[in-house]
Amino acid sequence: MKKVVLAYSGGLDTSFCLKYLQNEKGYEVYTILINTGGFDKQELASIEKRAYELGSKEHVNLDIIDLYYEKAVKYLIFGNVLKNNTYPLSVSAERVFQAIEAIKYAKKAGAEAIAHGSTGAGNDQIRFDLIFQTIAPQIEIITPIRDLKLSRQEEVDYLQKNGVDYSWEKAQYSINKGIWGTSVGGKETLTSNQTLPESAYPSQLKKEGEEKVLLTFEKGELVAINRQTNKPSENIIQLEKLASAYAIGRDTHVGDTIIGIKGRVGFEAAAPIIIIKAHHLLEKHVLTKWQQYWKEQLGNWYGMLFHEGQYLDPVMRNIETFLTDTQTTVSGNVIVRLKPYHFILEGIESPHDLMNSQFGQYGEMNNAWTSDDAKGFIKILGNAQAIYSQVNNINYD
């Protein structure tokens, strides 16, 4: 039998693909789940059991959380990447790495084909296909959901007809979890005016009141929470547990898809949003004006290219080198106050803080220059516009 490797999550789409590839296409199906932080041990065991029950020849659960952090998440933090100033690339980035690991496994397994469960109307199909065809152009790409143009209800019906007796009551929502956030898609996100119901989010409000959290950054990386040091990937997970209990980090992203249509997706990303905002606040204190300016330009480009599946372009390594170099002085503490549904950044502490009172205090004291220095500076600063106005007889009345 011909071998096909299926990038498998255990959800409705990939469960349908597994059964369809066996029954309708006659493939021997090998499944791989690439864990980027969205599954605990019990969930992984349950998904593996389901894969074998559905007929997988071999199933692999591959944990790449630390690799994913080092190769992707770290730079998304360095660049303060929020797509359309909203979305922390929760799914965009992880899909790229899931594709990379899936195609590596397909090559190792000697598979003739590789499959994924993306539709033909989203971004994921492009991210998967771009990586697959770049790394292994000789391996055929199979996409049942895209090719058959199936609704989620049609997938449920097919599985039930083929004796798959699982509870699909949540099949109306597509949920993708990872260390860098959870996306939630459903009937509401297909409209422009409806919002996801509270019940659609995996994390529910569990805490009231307020709680202060101290985040410690070292060269741009989150190295401690409340002075307890740990590796950055674990700190992200711990902060997510703390902050998601307050239902922080929920929003709906509206953006331009790679295929040219507008799209909406709900998400919850408590830790990513807090970390990016805290990191950005620290940078505003310790970086120069022009460092911040060029970081914003290149950070936006990095996020856009990542979002559109262009991770393997060498310019991405160039931008990562720049972003890393900017983090030399991005060290210190950020004080964050957590409250139900939102958070407040109270301030920072850093030995590199450029708000140094020996030079001056904004709106108060000019310690490092005289009033005559200020007058001279202002006069010279205005030379260009003054000369232009006089030469061209500009009347500002």
Same domain, 120 and 167: yes
Same domain, 332 and 360: no
Among 156-165, 310-319, 331-340, the minimum mean pLDDT is found in: 156-165
* Token pair belonging to 262: 């507008």
Q: For residue 392, what are the domain limits? A: 356-397
Same domain, 164 and 278: no
3-state SS class at 210 = coil
Q: What is the CATH number of the domain that holds 319?
A: 3.90.1260.10
Confidence of residue 361 (pLDDT cuts 50, 70, 90): low
Pairing of strands 221-225, 3-7: unpaired
Q: Exposure pattern of 285-296 as b/e (b: 16+ CB <10 Å)?
A: bbbeeebeeebe
For 55-88, what is each residue's pLDDT tens digit?
999 999 999 999 999 999 999 999 999 999 999 9
First to last CA, the chain: 84
Same domain, 225 and 345: yes
Same domain, 63 and 135: yes
Same domain, 225 and 285: yes
Same domain, 216 and 231: yes
Q: How many domains does the chain fold into?
A: 3
- Amino acid identity, position 231: K
Same domain, 170 and 113: yes
CB atoms within 10 A of CB 52: 12
Residue 360 confidence (pLDDT) above 80: no
d(CA 225, CA 338): 13
Q: Which pTM was predicted?
A: 0.91
3-state SS class at 266 = strand
For 228-275, what is each residue's pLDDT tens digit?
999 999 999 999 999 999 999 999 999 998 889 999 999 999 999 999
Determine, yes or no, domain membership for 64: yes
pLDDT of residue 370: 85
Ramachandran region of residue 85, left (φ > 0), alpha (ψ -120 to 50) or beta? left
Same domain, 99 and 120: yes
Determine, yes or no, domain membership for 138: yes
> What does residue 183 show for φ and ψ, rounded to 5 degrees?
-95, 150
Same domain, 42 and 57: yes
